[in-house]
């Protein structure tokens, strides 16, 4: 019997060293082994020409359908602009207390906002978003603690304001 793992499924995110760092951060935060895999799909099927974005609900369902039972949680990593019908964009989303979530790194780099490139900041944001969505799959809801990783993020500034970790309260819920 294999130990429960968290699977990070990358769909077209090119930088392997970034993914390795993110995997390590997830492992440290949740205490499970993390598996990195590459997903292969035709993203074109998820593209909405009217919005020039990709359908986050359909992609979440796709990742959920790819969840394998020997993995504890599966998180899909994308590098395209995601939306859901009620929002202009999303950084990610997940099934609360479910198997799966998705996160996109598309809006996490400085260059997107006309600021100088900063890889350290980018990786930090990516780690936070991935940990946040995995937190939802463990049943954690949004937290009011301004520095908790489970705080909701509407803008990049919100992501930068919070820390990489679950606050004490969230961690207790995770254990309990």
Sign of CA dihedral 77, 80, 84, 89: positive
111 assigned to active site:
no
Kindly state the tokens that stand for 111: 């260059």
Could you say whether residue 159 binds Zn ion (CB under 5 A)? no
Return d(Cα 34, Cα 7) in angstroms, integer: 6
- Beta carbon of residue 40, minimum distance to Zn ion (angstroms, whole number): 27
- Binds Zn ion by CB under 5 A, chosen from 123, 130, 150, 156: 150
Cβ 91 vs Cβ 83: under 8 Å? no
CA-closest candidate to residue 35, choices 79, 63, 4: 4
The residue range among 67-75, 83-91, 107-115, 163-171 that interacts with Zn ion, by the rule CB under 5 A, is 163-171
- Binds Zn ion by CB under 5 A, chosen from 25, 126, 156, 167: 167
Cβ neighbours, 10 Å, residue 133: 23
The residue range among 81-89, 99-107, 110-118, 164-172 that interacts with Zn ion, by the rule CB under 5 A, is 164-172
Could you say whether residue 60 binds Zn ion (CB under 5 A)? no
The residue range among 17-25, 51-59, 123-131, 165-173 that interacts with Zn ion, by the rule CB under 5 A, is 165-173
Kindly state the tokens that stand for 35: 């598996």
- Beta carbon of residue 57, minimum distance to Zn ion (angstroms, whole number): 15
Return d(Cα 19, Cα 56) in angstroms, integer: 21
- Binds Zn ion by CB under 5 A, chosen from 47, 57, 145, 174: 145
Q: Binding residues for Zn ion, per CB under 5 A?
A: 143, 145, 148, 150, 167, 170
């Amino acid at each position: 019997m294999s130990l429960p793992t968290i699977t990070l499924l990358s769909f077209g995110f090119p930088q392997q060293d970034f993914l390795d760092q993110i995997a390590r951060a997830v492992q440290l935060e949740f205490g499970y082994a993390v598996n990195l895999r590459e997903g292969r799909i035709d993203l074109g099927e998820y593209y909405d020409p009217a919005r020039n974005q990709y359908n986050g609900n359909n992609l979440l369902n796709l990742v959920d359908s790819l969840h394998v039972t020997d993995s504890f949680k599966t998180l899909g990593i994308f590098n395209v602009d995601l939306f859901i019908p009620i929002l202009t964009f999303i950084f990610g989303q997940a099934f609360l207390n479910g198997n799966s979530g998705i996160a996109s790194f598309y809006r996490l780099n400085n260059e997107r906002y006309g600021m100088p490139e900063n890889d350290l900041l980018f990786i930090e944001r990516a780690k936070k978003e991935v940990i946040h969505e995995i937190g939802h799959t463990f049943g954690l809801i949004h937290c009011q603690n301004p520095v908790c990783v489970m705080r909701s993020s509407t803008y990049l500034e919100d992501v930068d304001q919070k820390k990489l970790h679950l606050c004490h309260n969230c961690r207790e819920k995770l254990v309990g």
